[in-house]
Amino acid sequence: MFWSLLAGEPTQNPWMMYIVLGVVVVIFVVWMVFSGRKNKQRQKEYTEQLEAIRPGHKVKTAGGICGIVVEVCDDNTIIMETGSETAGKSYIKMDKELIAQTDAKGPTQIAREEAEARRKAEEAEKKAKKSGEVPAPVPAREDAEEKSEPAEAKSEPAEEKEEK
């Protein structure tokens, strides 16, 4: 049947063939648009990860060399330490763009992980409410606690806080 639509048998109208080809073209264009967005998002995350690299982060290059970043230079390069104490250490200077994997996290990745943690905590809370159990408290990040406390309160000694 499909072939008869594309071949356009003499008894059928030719507009059927144009409709089928139009649908195929529309599907292809939509697929390309969504594919491009996903690739752009991946590229943005990769760039943020490279910018977040600091001394002490573990990295793996495109060539498979694993090591620890010792220094991040101004000219978009890093100095990486490889080897061990017993076998001997070596230092490699390379371009940041050659890094394939790292444990550094960019702001987008951190936000996504926090959102995922909140979603899981909410799901656990809903399940606990349904079963009648008391939900376990969700540990808050230390950064958030420090930011919520005013700067004046931090600088005051604990004894003065008790007097108030």
How many domains, in total, are found in the chain? 3
pLDDT number for residue 85: 85
129 inside domain: yes
Q: What is the pTM of this model?
A: 0.53
In terms of domains, do 58 and 98 share one? yes
- For residue 63 the two structure tokens come to 């060539």
Whether residue 112 sits in one domain with residue 97: no
pLDDT tens digits for 40-96?
888 888 888 888 899 999 999 989 999 999 999 988 899 999 988 888 899 999 999
Residue 73 amino acid letter: C
156: pLDDT strictly greater than 60:
no
Q: Which two tokens stand for residue 85?
A: 């104490």
Same domain, 43 and 64: no
The edge-to-edge listing of strands for the beta sheet with 66-72 is 88-95, 77-84, 66-72, 58-61, 99-102
Whether residue 164 is contained in a domain is answered as no
- Which residues span the domain enclosing 35? 2-49
pLDDT at 133 over 80: no
Same-domain check for residues 88 and 125: no
Would you call 101 helix, strand, or coil by DSSP? strand
Give the model's pLDDT for residue 84: 86
Task: Give yes or no: residues 71 and 87 share one domain.
Answer: yes
Query: What token pair was written down for 114?
Result: 């926090």
